[in-house]
Structure 1
Amino acid sequence: MSQTLIEKIAQKFAFGLDAKHEVHAGDYLSIKPAYVMTHDNTGAVIPKFKSIGAKKLFNPRQVVITLDHNVQDKSEKNLEKYKKIEDFAKSMGADFYPAGRGIGHQIMCEEGYAFPGTMVVASDSHSNMYGGLGCLGTPIVRTDAAAIWATGRTWWQVPTIAKVELKGSLRQGVTGKDVIIALCGYFNHDEVLNHAIEFVGDGIRYLTIDERLAIANMTTEWGALAGVFPIDLATILWLKKRERFIEHRGLEGVFSDADGNGQHPRINHKRIEELEHNIPHADENAFYAKELTIDLSTIEPFVSGPNTVKTYTAVSELKE
């Protein structure tokens, strides 16, 4: 049988499969994700981790901790919470990014944790965002995060997979955010609820990586469990540009930096070149439970709501 891109990535990160088993939607898998990210909710994951009886992380290199939600709270209580999280991360050897460094999901993309063709999870619903880079990003609950800390793996059922075709190109002044607002408002009868989405179509080549990340991020509001774009030339060029930026900026000083022998451990020439020569694609005859299409040229600047993402209003109407 043929596989979708999501099924291929899930197959790669599944654990304990029969050698002949081909992963498809509906399968229950034991997965070893490349990375698991937690943020301010790390404080709630730690006691779950300890309740398992774990004393150390199964794989410290798999764990990323970022503080990004309540950074404006300078109260003694919150600062104490942040200090406990930082102390835990450093004592366990996990990569840690302090408050003020940036939004966790952006760090995951910009620092190469959410690398194209890999599977990455986070205890946050917007981990779908990683799909903008062709990474299978999907949310987990805090108990699952604790389980991954302790064992390196958790279970995952491959969702029903939908294909969303993007045709044409955006008009000037229209953004990726307008695209996902349009999708949420136009297909507003739970068409993709609890689905994993694969974006396809000739319109994708006109979308920047920033636009793809914005669209993938808000597939969460659309009801999806993942929203994955294909890996293409734009993806490769973005990685190469990021590599040059990091070479100029230098390393961040996290534990995993030691793995790169002076280079960035995730975004480096060797890894990008390997991806460029082995880009995973969905098979031509892969099965999708449903297919939706939108013409990008018909989209204009929109404002979501009122009160729900299932409706939207054109900016041109608001000015009246």
Structure 2
Amino acid sequence: MEQFKAFWITKEEDAKKPNAAEWRDITIDDLSAGDTVVRVVNSTVNYKDGLAFAGNPGVLRKFPMVPGIDVIGEVVTSESDRFKEGDQVIMNGFGVGEVHTGAYAKYARLKSEWLIKRPEGLSAERAAAIGTAGYTAMLCVMALEDYGIKPNMGPVAVSGAAGGVGSVAVSILAKLGYTVIASTGRLEEADFLKGLGASEVMDRAELSEPGRPFGKESWAAAIDVAGSHTLANLLARTNYGGAVAACGLAQGMDLPATVMPFILRGVSLLGVDSVMAPIERRQEAYRRLVEDLELSKLDALSSKIKLSEVPEKAADILKGKVRGRLIVDYSEL
């Protein structure tokens, strides 16, 4: 196969220098091993992608590396009997873009057991708009449903509501009939969040500062992308018998909380992992996304960028400057 363009990150020997990311020509042989080659049609930019370009050692664990954790594309060749040439597929997570070369190239070589077929009724661009962030949002909603949280039990709070996970979670919850309290550090996005279905918008400072170990009951459940004080405060204000689905650490990986919400109110903390989730759970999440995410709202919270713009947007996403979802267009390749 011919040479093709890719973002290629190499490790600097001097730990004080950022890892070098360059736009260069590579071949299939430069990619990690896999039984299926996919021509990438679209991808997106997630918080983890931003960390990869920033050289975060907790994300990039093998070099050289093609970053990009979301692959939406078309099968070129496969040694698996599950896929054939021309199949439209989606891949999220599994260490791709971290320890296995990822999406920001014309082709990706992947393991077939990581792939699912793109559902009918979901375009490649909309699958990219969903990406790991939207798929994680659906996993969080499913975790709350599995726990028994219902719309009539009270509102659901969502942290980081203007970001990728948060904006999709707000939209899904609203369509399912939940009252949504959207927390954001960008109050200028209040109209945007209410357009997605939020009933109330609160300043994230109310949650992100150190709080009391036990607060006034304010919501039946919550979805948290932040960790640290935000997660502690969400737990402290969750109603009796409620739950918080936690999926991120944008504020920090610590949890400065006490056991009081757990033992005095019976609150549960539900961990949500999107990276290694079983294929069956992924397929169910995407089936639900097609049904329960209002696709016109997905379009409204999405914008399109060129593949060459990814490093700039990856930096912006770490600064909280990206609203909603980004669709990476590969047509320039």
TM bucket normalised to smaller:
under 0.3
Normalising by structure 2, we get a TM-score of 0.24
Normalising by structure 1, we get a TM-score of 0.24
Structure of greater relative contact order (alpha carbons < 8 Å, 6+ residues apart): 1
Looking at secondary structure, tell me which structure has more strand per residue.
2
Looking at secondary structure, tell me which structure has more helix per residue.
1
